[in-house]
Structure 1
């Protein structure tokens, strides 16, 4: 199972594929439907927001397995 940094990197890669610019933490926070401050706190604590990621995967019709496992 991937760690927090790897999961966020995977999210950034997915988001970058739909945009023609660098994806920042604020873009990930928006995609996960959370505030930038909340995302920064989660990132600092190295705590994975599983529910937000699962809801994002569902909304985007992504396979959760691709996000969490290598």
Structure 2
């Protein structure tokens, strides 16, 4: 299972598809409907917000296995 920092990078890649825009942590926090301060705390602790990521996968019709596992 991937750690949260790796998952963040995957989500950034997902957001950046088709654009030249640089994606920041604040963009991922907004994507997951998490405040920037809560996101920073989660990132610091390297804990994964599973519910929020699963909700995002459901909204975008993504396979959550691709996000959480190799």
Coarse TM-score class (shorter-chain normalised)? over 0.9
Unpaired runs of 5+ residues, structure 1, are: none
Task: Supply the distance in 2 between the matched residues of 1:30 and 1:18 (Cα, whole angstroms).
Answer: 19
Task: Supply the distance in 1 between the matched residues of 2:59 and 2:67 (Cα, whole angstroms).
Answer: 14
Task: Name the TM-score, length of structure 2 as normaliser.
Answer: 0.94
Bigger mean CA offset, 16-25 vs 38-47 = 16-25
Q: How far is the alpha carbon of 1:18 from its aligned partner?
A: 4.4
Considering only aligned residues, what root-mean-square deviation do their CA atoms show, in Å?
Answer: 0.9
Unpaired runs of 5+ residues, structure 2, are: none
- Does 2:48 match 1:48? yes
Task: Name the TM-score, length of structure 1 as normaliser.
Answer: 0.94
Q: How far is the alpha carbon of 1:19 from its aligned partner?
A: 3.4
Which residue pairs with 1:30 in the alignment?
30
Number of positions where the alignment pairs a residue of Structure 1 with one of Structure 2: 70
